[in-house]
Amino acid sequence: MRQISVTEHLQLHQKNIPEATGRFTSLFNELILSAKIINRAVNKAGLVDVLGDTGETNIQGEHVQKLDEYANKILIHRLQRCGVLCAMSSEEQADLIQIPRNFPKGDYFLVFDPLDGSSNIEANVSIGTIFSIYRRKHGNLESVELHDVLQKGSEQVAAGYFLYGSSTVLIFTTGDGVHGFTLDPSVGEFLLSHPDIRVPEQGKLYSVNEAYWHYWDKKTQEAVAVFKDPNSDLGQLYSLRYIGSLVSDFHRNLLYGGIFMYPADFRDPKKPHGKLRLLCEAAPLAMLAEQAGGMATDGLNPILEIEPQELHQRTPLVIGSRKDVQKVQDIFAAE
Ligand code: AHG
Ligand code: MN
Ligand code: MN
């Protein structure tokens, strides 16, 4: 296959960002440089002291792993300087991240999960960086308020993730299909490896943490049980694949077909809507799933239609092959 770089591909596929070629590309290039730097640290995590816990907890009340913090710092440092953002939001930071006064600004708003699956870092399981890009709605560039940037997922201009695995891949969409690039370390470039990814209509895999069975409501138990029932009208047997790293579980299901579920559970009264975050996890993956011909709901409603009320809002997530997600939606919709 002819070697196509991300920059070249962006020139070809930017139906909904026609007016912003150079600016948008510079944003992507800074994301890519950040991912290369993070990837270098991830690959040698076992050798240098970037493993383990910082002993702090973040806005999510979770232990912050050193690589989480490192990835967060790299992304903020690099993206603050790209000249096309009005503000950012990171899973690791409570508030909006403003662009310093003396830095050039632009109309884009970036949301990211700097390192997803971080509980797996020390076990050498694939982890990733998830990003989501909006254009700000209104307001002035100098002091961006939450209401200037908070928008539902269907307003995303682009979304994607880097997956630091057996190879390092970048999967993204700008609203014109989903495309995958693999880092060729010999040239240090992400080259097109998965043009126009389509998720199979129905999968053979379901991904959910069944340990929470007794903390789910009846509908959720019914929705999960259907994938274990040999006599269900899904008409086939499924395997359970769950590695506890959302980007890895999502990526496998995107390519092979399947459904990932992180339902609401009653384990933690402070988190009645499940663990996953709408803005930095569910919405970007939902844009990818839908652009690839799949589907993404909170069980009943499309993820991309949820109007966010706050930065770190959580949502149940059911995402993947259309027929499988539709089956869950039918169960939730039934009286
Ligand atoms: P993060 O590392 O960004 O906090 O995300 C972890 C998430 C997600 O990657 C994964 O699907 C989920 O946590 C696993 O949660 P459980 O351990 O509760 O199954
Ligand atoms: Mn995450
Ligand atoms: Mn994270």
Could you give phi then psi for residue 32, rounded to 5 degrees?
A: -65, -40
More confident residue, 311 or 137: 311
Query: Tens digits of per-residue pLDDT, 78-136?
Result: 999 999 999 999 999 999 999 999 999 999 999 999 999 988 888 889 999 999 999 99
Q: Which residues pair with 205 in a beta bridge?
A: 239
Question: Measuring CA to CA, which residue among 212, 267, 202, 272 is closest to residue 238?
Answer: 202
Name 206's bridge partners. 240, 259
Residue bearing the CA closest to ligand 1, atom 12: 244
Does residue 246 have its Cβ closer than 6 Å to ligand 1?
yes
Quick check: 270 pLDDT over 90? no
Residue 54: the pLDDT is 66
Query: 179 to each of 26, 115, 187, 192, how far by Cα in Å?
Result: 18, 21, 20, 8
Separation between Cα atoms, residue 228 and residue 223, nearest integer Å: 10
Residue 18 alpha carbon to ligand 2 centre in Å: 31
How many angstroms separate the alpha carbon of residue 316 from the centre of ligand 2? 13
Rounded Cα gap, residues 93 and 45, in angstroms:
23
Among 58-62, 171-175, 219-223, 319-323, the minimum mean pLDDT is found in 58-62
Using CA atoms, how far apart are residues 177 and 254, in angstroms rounded to an integer? Answer: 13
CATH fold label, 205-333: D-Maltodextrin-Binding Protein; domain 2 (3.40.190)
Tell me the average pLDDT across 298-307.
Answer: 98
Its pTM stands at: 0.94
| Greatest C-alpha distance within the chain | 64
Give 51 or 5, the one with higher predicted confidence: 5
Distance CA 255, CA 264 (A): 26
Ligand 1 within 6 A of 116 CB?
Answer: yes
Tell me, in angstroms, the distance from the centre of ligand 3 to residue 33's CA: 19
CB of 265 shorter than 6 A to ligand 1: no
What are the C-alpha distances in Å from 112 to residues 141, 227, 283, 321?
Answer: 20, 31, 11, 24
CA 179 – ligand 1 centroid, Å: 24
CA 38 and chain centroid, separation: 16
The domain ranges of the chain are 6-194, 205-333
> Who surrounds ion ligand 2 at CB < 5 A?
113, 116
| Averaged pLDDT of the chain | 92
Lowest mean pLDDT among 30-34, 103-107, 143-147: 143-147
Q: Is the Cβ–Cβ distance between 192 and 181 less than 8 Å?
A: yes
Tell how far the Cα of 234 is from the centroid of ligand 3, in angstroms: 33
Nearest to 106 by CA among 175, 20, 30: 20
Q: Which CATH superfamily is 6-194 part of?
A: Fructose-1,6-Bisphosphatase, subunit A, domain 1 (3.30.540.10)
pLDDT tens-digit readout, 52-62? 666 677 777 76
